[in-house]
Amino acid sequence: MTIKAWMNEQLKKPYMKNVLARIEKDERNFRVFPPKHLRYYALEVTPYDQLKVVILGQDPYHQEGQANGLAFSCIKKPLPPSLKNIFKAIQFNGFEVDDTNGDLSRYANQGVLLWNSYLSVIEGKPLSHQDEAYRLLTKSLIRKLSREHHHLVFLLWGSFAQQFEEDIDGDHLIIKTSHPSPLSSYRGFLTSKQFIETNEYLILNQKKPIDWR
C-alpha cells in the first residue's frame, strides 16, 4: 500500500470523522491554512522509498501566505523566528544555508519528512484545530514509518514532539533537543550538533547525507 493510499484509508476511519467535519465547517466560515490541496503535501513531496529523516512540528503557521504543508517551512517573508533559529542551528553545525529561503521543500525532496501533527489551523488562531484525532493519526504514521524503514533519524524538538518517542520502534536514531522557538531554543537547540549527527548516521548506514543548504 502506498503512503497516499494509507493516508486516504486513515481519513475514512471513524476516529477522523468529527475533526474532518469540524474543519470542513470552519472552511466555510474562516480562512484555514494551509489550503486544502497542500494539507498532505509533506507525504506527497517526500519520496517515501527514500525516507531518511523525520521532523515533527505541532501545527501550521497561522498567517496568510506562510504555511505550505511542510512543518516549519514558510513561503512568505519575514521568516518566523523558529525557522530563523533552525537556520542558525544548521549554520552552527558548519553547513552553509540559504537563510533567506524559507521553503523547506529542498529538504523534503531529499527524504526529510516535515510533518505537522495538527494539519490545519484557522487564520490568526494557533492550535485552533488541536484535536486528539490528529494526534492519533500522527502516532499511527510514526509507527508505520518506523516499522517499514530502517535507520531513520527522528529529530524531536521540544516536549510536544518528544511525546511521540514511544511510537518509534526499530533500529533508528532519536535526537531530542529543545524547540527552536525563541522561548526555548537557547536550552540546547541552537548549540546541538544534531545535523552533523544526522548526516554521520546516514553515511554510517550507507545512505546519502542531507544537503542542508
Active site amino acids: 59
147 CB-near residues (< 8 Å, 6+ apart):
169, 170
Show the beta-strand stretches assigned E in 92-164.
112-116, 121-122, 153-157
Phi, psi of 130 (to 5 degrees): -65, 125
Whole-angstrom Cα distance, residue 53 to residue 200? 12
Q: At what angle do helices 14-29 and 3-11 cross, to 10 degrees?
A: 80
Query: Which three cell numbers, joined as nine digits, stand for 165?
Result: 518517542
Let me know: does 108 contact 70? Beta carbons within 8 Å: yes
